[in-house]
């Protein structure tokens, strides 16, 4: 939950508390890769009101040199068409 809270730190305190409560009770947390410090592991958090992805990418031979991070609120999106 600490990693999720780190990623949602862009929200104000009230919204963060609500979002964390929703995620804590409704999320799945797939982890891909090793669990050792400094390794290139990825994770995704999926909940009805949040999708968070974190994925390091190798750059110049360093497995964690380039980081991809994404937060979406899937119920607050519109589609073109």
How does pLDDT run across 20-63, given as a tens digit for each residue? Answer: 888 888 888 888 888 887 778 888 888 888 888 888 887 777 77
For residue 78, name the pLDDT band (cuts at 50, 70, 90): low
Q: 10 lies in which domain range?
A: 2-76
Task: Identify whether 56 is part of a domain.
Answer: yes
Q: How many CB atoms lie within 10 A of CB 68?
A: 10
Q: What is the pLDDT of residue 72?
A: 84
Q: What is the pLDDT of residue 79?
A: 56
Contacts of 67 (CB under 8 A, 6+ apart): 54, 55, 56, 57
Say if strands 42-47 and 50-59 run parallel, antiparallel, or are unpaired. antiparallel
Task: Identify whether 81 is part of a domain.
Answer: no
Task: Identify whether 49 is part of a domain.
Answer: yes
Task: Identify whether 46 is part of a domain.
Answer: yes
The count of structural domains within the chain is 1
For residue 64, name the pLDDT band (cuts at 50, 70, 90): confident
Residue 81 clears pLDDT 50, i.e. is over it = no
Mean pLDDT of 9-27: 87
């Amino acid at each position: 939950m600490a990693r999720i809270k780190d990623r949602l730190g862009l929200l104000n305190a009230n919204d963060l508390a609500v979002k964390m409560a929703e995620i804590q009770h409704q999320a799945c947390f797939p982890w891909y890769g090793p669990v050792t410090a400094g390794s290139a592991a990825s994770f995704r958090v999926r909940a009805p009101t949040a999708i968070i992805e974190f994925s390091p990418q190798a750059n110049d031979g360093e497995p964690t040199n380039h980081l991809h991070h994404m937060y979406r609120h899937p119920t607050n999106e519109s589609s073109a068409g």
